[in-house]
Amino acid sequence: MTIKLLSWNVNGIRAVSKKKEFWDWFDNTDADIINFQEVRAETDQIPKKLLDVEGYKNYFNKAEKKGYSGVATYTKIEPNDIIQGLGIEELDHEGRVLKIEYPDFILFNIYFPNSGSEAKRLDYKVAFCDALLDIMLEYKNNGQNVVVTGDYNIAHNPIDVYNPANCEGKSGYLPEERAWLDKVEEAGFIDTFRLFDEGENNFTWWSYRTRARERNAGWRLDYFYVNEEMKDKVLNAEILSDVYGSDHCPVTVELDF
């Protein structure tokens, strides 16, 4: 069985749902599992057309603070269980995590924290990331497959930003953030996109303020990571840079079970 998963930071589900570009994509997608980040809405604020989607069940996790953060997953495949958050009270107030257990893998849909201006939230972000990696390793070491997707708010390597020298010291490219992704890979998890494309100029986020998308002056912040035991199950991974509607674009992975 082939399963196609998609992830997209929509930068506000109410805003994106008003855009023709979004519906041009959504009405024609062939994804079996769709993961949204930065939903930023209460369930009763989401358009009915996005609450009752034929063929999909949907699940949400919202932040305690209204209009902030939030994730959603739409799935054609019946899950065994759905869990909101990491299970760590001090890290679970912002609606950043959906953990969905399927027969063949554990899916994490995550909107990772931003370390903020002057790295004001870096400690919180590192604590969040380290706690997540502990959970990922627990599943991996128990012989379970793990898929972690979302907006990581981290550009890992110089190849993942348009101008590395200009990005030094900026949130999302801090040494502590990049070192965490090093730890993820050292622990036996794989950046699926780089299995298929090791080239430059592959970005998933572009600043609205500088019309960066027109120049492809972007960052790669959105990923699908899987445990190394799944490597042979990964058929394809792509960045859908031709899909508009947000300052991010969707990313996909296809898995074979």
d(CA 133, CA 198): 24
User: Please, are residues 110 and 85 in contact by the beta-carbon 8 Å criterion?
Assistant: no
Largest CA distance in the chain: 47
User: Please, are residues 148 and 111 in contact by the beta-carbon 8 Å criterion?
Assistant: no
One-letter amino acid of 45: Q
> Is there a catalytic annotation at residue 151?
yes
User: Please, are residues 221 and 115 in contact by the beta-carbon 8 Å criterion?
Assistant: no
Given the residues 30, 92, 151, 247, the one annotated as active site = 151
List b or e across 109-136, with b for residues whose CB sees 16 or more CB atoms inside 10 angstroms.
Answer: bbbbbbbeeeeebbebbbebbeebbebb
Which helix (H) or strand (E) covers residue 51, if one does?
helix 48-51
Q: Which of 38, 237, 233, 72 is nearest to 146 (CA)?
A: 233
Q: Which of 239, 243, 237, 240 is nearest to 225 (CA)?
A: 237
Enzyme catalytic residues: 151
